[in-house]
Structure formats: C-alpha cells, structure tokens
Amino acid sequence: MHDSPGDHIGRLQALLHLAGTLQAHAETRLSEVGLSLPKLAALTKLSEAGESLPLSQLAARLSCVKSNITQLVDRLEADGFVSRAADSSDRRSRLAVMTPAGRAAFEKGAQIYQQTERDLLSELDEVEARYLTSLIEKLEKRAG
C-alpha cells in the first residue's frame, strides 16, 4: 500500500509555492534598502565584473532577454544605483556603470540577502541542507 512510482500529485505545486513564499520574504527584507531581487542580482553581476558591463553582457549573465535589461537598468538608473555610459570600443553598445550609491546599496543588500538565506534555511540541519542541495541538483539537471 504505497504510492505508485509516478505519483507526485501536488509536489510541484508545493515546491513552487514554497519558492514564492521564500522569494517574498527576501523581497520584503531587501526593500528596506531600496532593492529587489532582480536589482540585487544585476548589481551583483556588475560588482563581480568590476563596476561596469555592456547591457548585452548583463543580459547574458542574468540569463534573460535584452529588453528586460533595458528596463531593469532604466529602473536602477531612476534609483540612482546605475548610470549608462558610452562604450568606447563599440558605439552600438552601452555600459551599465554602478554609482557610489549603487555600490552602497549592493553591499547592504548582499548582507541582507545572506542573512535572509540563513534565517529561512536555519530550520535545516547539516544533513538536510546537503540533501536539499543534492535534490535541487538532480531536478535542475532534469529540467535545465
């Protein structure tokens, strides 16, 4: 009297719901420093690249479409966290450059994000956390 091999009713839904909840928590915490998850992700890539990147590179590294980056950078620019600059090597290209305010927000945001990660996953012990990672890798390989 056990589940049939292919029985996963509700599990996908449960996983997607959990992700939504966790994401909402992270967004709420980040909003205290004027950031969202997508904005923090963009600033992180900029920071890793040493302050600036062509928009097309940013799109590639965030695995999204270019038009998305155009608009995300619009919002970051409105926030004063990023500014656009010319790319001397290619006049078609535009550079997203982190401003001092952007770096400050990034540093605070990165701290908050890590703390949120610890808080949300603090229920799991070492074994559970490792198991979770292995399950994620397995599913990611299948779906990716």
Partner DNA sequence: TAAGATTGAGCATTCAATCTTG
Partner DNA sequence: CAAGATTGAATGCTCAATCTTA
Q: Which is nearer to DNA, 56 or 99 (CB)?
A: 56
Give the separation between CA 91 and CA 108, rounded to whole angstroms.
34
Q: Rule CB under 7 A: is residue 93 a binding residue for DNA? A: yes
Q: Which stretch binds DNA (CB under 7 A): 2-10, 68-76, 105-113, 114-122?
A: 68-76
Q: How far apart are CA 94 and CA 20, in angstroms?
A: 33
Among 1, 78, 127, 143, binds DNA (CB under 7 A): 78
Convert 58-118 into a string of H (helix), E (strand) and C (coil): HHHHCCCCHHHHHHHHHHHHHHCCEEEEECCCCCCCEEEEECHHHHHHHHHHHHHHHHHHH
Collapsed DSSP state (helix, strand, coil) of residue 49: coil
Site string for its own copies, 53-92 (x = CB under 8 A): ----------------------------------------
| Residues that bind its own copies in the complex, under the rule CB under 8 A | 2-3, 5-6, 8-9, 11-23, 25-26, 37, 114, 116-118, 120-126, 128-129, 131-133, 135-136, 138-144
